[in-house]
Amino acid sequence: MPAINFSVTARDKGARRGKLKTPHGVIDTPAFIPVGTAATVKTLDGEDLKRLDAQVVLANTYHLMLRPGPDLVERHGGLHGFMGCDGPIVTDSGGFQVFSLGWGLAHGVGKVAAMFPGDGQSATRSASSRSGKRLMRVGERGVRFRSHLDGSEHELTPESSVAIQQQLGADIFMAFDECTSPLHDEEYTAEAMARTHRWAERCLAAWTERRTQALFGIVQGGAYRGLREASARFIDGRPFPGVAIGGSLGRTKRDMRKVLEWTTPLLAPEKPRHLLGIGEVADIFMAVRLGVDAFDCAAPTRQARNGTVYVGPKNGGTPRNRFRLNVSAAKHADDPWPLDPDCSCFTCQNHSRAYVRHLFAAHEALGPRLATIHNLHFILELMRDIRKAIESKRLDSLAKRYGLS
C-alpha cells in the first residue's frame, strides 16, 4: 500500500494544481506547509490551524530528537498523538539544522540565522558563542554534532534519521542529506552531493519496514548546474514517492530560478516536488511556475513574532517591500486599520493595527499570536488563490496583481 497518492488535476504552463493524499488527509497543492519546529506552530494550537485550514504542518527532527526525544514522542502516539493533530504531518531529516550549525564556523558567517527553517537563531547563537569548539563533523557514516541546547554530543546517520522519523510517525519524511551553503565551492559541493546520494540509498534501505510513511529523496548540488542535474537524475531514478529540492539555491533570486529551471524538468511529473525552506511571495510564484508543488518556511511565523506582518498589493504590499509591514513601529500606535484591510483572518476581522502594536509594545503574548494567525492566513490564502488561478489558467494575471511579471 503506497503511503501517498499524488495526482495533478490542472496545469497552467509549468504550474501544477494537484491533490496529495496522505494517511491523515488530502493536501491541496501547490501547498504552503507551516513550520511547527518543536511539535507546535509557535503561539498556535490545533484549533487555530484548523480555522486557518492549514491542512498540514512540518516539524523539525533535529529539535525533537534533542527535546523531548523520539522515544517519548513515539510512546505518546507519534507526532499526531503527541501534538493532538489528526491531519497530515511532514518531518525534515535533521540534516539542515545540523549542517547549519557547522557553516557559521567553517565560513566565519555570523548571520546564517535567516537560513534556519526552525528556531535556528538559537543554534546560531550557540555556534558563535562556542567558536573554536568543533560543533559538527561529517563522515561517510553520518554526522556527529553538539546540541545547541546543552552542548551534548549526538550523531545522525541515514539509518538513525529514518528510525527517528519513523518514531515521530509523520505522513511524509525526508531522506538524510548533507546540506551545503552558498559559500561551499564546487568541489566540496560535489563531494557532499555524492555522499548525499549514498545516504539516499541507505535511507531507502532503512525505510523498507514501515511503508505507511512516504520517504522523499532530496536533490542537492548547490547552485552548480552539472551537480543539480546529476542529483535530480539520481534522486528521480530511485524509488522515492516524492522529491524535495534542498541545499543551497545560490545567493540571489536569479540563482534560485536557475536551480529550479535545471532541476524540475528532470523530475518525473507524477511525483510531488517540495522546495525546502522557501516561502516568500515572489519565490512562491516563481517556483510554482517552475512546477513546484509544496513549500515550507519558518519566515511567516518568525517574522510575525517580530511584529512584521504581510500586506497584500491593494494595501501597500509590493515585491520591493516583500509585502511586509512592521506593525510594531511607533507610527502604527494610533492606526485604526486592520493589519490588511482586505484580509478575512481572525486578527483583521477583530483588531486594529493600534491594538496589535500596543500588544507588541507591552510584550503581550497575544501580539505574536495575532500576527502569526494573520501571516499564515495571508500565505495560505495566497496558495488558495494560486490553486484557483492554475485551474482557470490565470496564474499570470494573479502574479501581475502582486506586481510580479
3-state class percentages of the chain: helix first, strand second, coil last, to nearest 5: 45, 15, 40
Q: Taking the complex as a whole, how short is the minimal distance between the CB of residue 351 and a second copy, in angstroms?
A: 5
Q: How far is the CB of 142 from a second copy (least distance, A)?
A: 25
Catalytic site includes residue 92: yes
Instruction: Name the phi and psi angles at 57, rounded to 5.
Output: -130, 160
Catalytic, out of 12, 92, 283, 340: 92
- Measured from the CB atom, the residue of 84 and 316 that comes closer to a second copy is 84
CB 90 within 8 A of CB 296: yes
Closer Cβ to a second copy, 57 or 244, answer by number: 57
Q: Judging by DSSP bridges, how do beta strands 31-34 and 324-326 pair with one another? A: unpaired
Active-site entry in 171, 293, 296, 340: 296
Amino acid at 397: S
Phi then psi for residue 277, to 5 deg, are 75, 15
Question: 29 vs 352, which CB is nearer to a second copy?
Answer: 352
N- to C-terminal Cα distance for the chain?
43
Q: How far is the CB of 87 from a second copy (least distance, A)?
A: 13
Interface with a second copy by CB under 8 A: which residues?
Answer: 38-40, 42-47, 63, 67-68, 72, 75-76, 82-84, 333-334, 336, 346, 350-352, 354-355, 358-359, 361-362, 364-366, 368-370
Between 1 and 362, CB nearer to a second copy: 362
Question: Quick one: 62 or 103, whose CB is closer to a second copy?
Answer: 62
Contact 131, 144 (CB under 8 A): no
Question: Containing H/E element for 245?
Answer: strand 242-245
Cα(151)–Cα(207) distance, rounded to whole angstroms? Answer: 30
Residue type for 141, please?
R
CB of 47 to a second copy, least distance (A): 7
Angle between helices 186-207 and 158-168 (to 10 degrees): 50
Supply the minimum distance, in Å, between the C-beta of residue 360 and a second copy: 11
Query: Does the active-site annotation cover 293?
Result: no
In eight-state DSSP terms, residue 241 is S
What is the spatial distance between Cα 58 and Cα 34, in angstroms, rounded to a whole number? Answer: 6
Q: Is the peptide bond before 30 cis (omega within 30 degrees of 0)?
A: yes
Active site residues: 92, 296
